[in-house]
Amino acid sequence: MDKWRLVGTIAILTFGFTSMAAILGGGTLVPALFVLGVFVLIPLVALLGADLPLVAASENDDEPQSTDADPVELLRERYARGELSKDEFETRLDRLLETETLAVEASDTDRELLIDEE
């Protein structure tokens, strides 16, 4: 179950059980159910998230964060894991350095250093 769906389910069940206990004359059970649901269970699920056995890990947790990483570093990591051959690595590195929009252009020396560091 998704984390926020579980939080919603707990909130609805807390309200339902608290209301039912109030109607049936639950006495001290009413505030105890409310405190347990709202101030214990909901923050627990919200903070622990995927570490709880009832909460499924979201699909975004398994994928690496590619927005913050340097594209050259990602390319080097894929080459180091064996996902890319040397020719494919060099081709993609050339293409990446050609299309890079940084203020400083990468020279052939920089390219050779990157390839030698592999």
Q: What is the mean pLDDT of residues 81-97?
A: 86
Percent of the chain with pLDDT over 70: 70
Assess contact for 92 and 75: CB atoms under 8 A: yes
Over residues 7-48, the pLDDT tens digits come to: 888 899 999 999 999 999 888 889 998 999 999 888 888 888
Mean per-residue pLDDT of the chain: 78
Percent of the chain with pLDDT over 90: 18
- Residue 110's pLDDT is 64
The whole-angstrom separation of Cα 61 and Cα 65 is 9
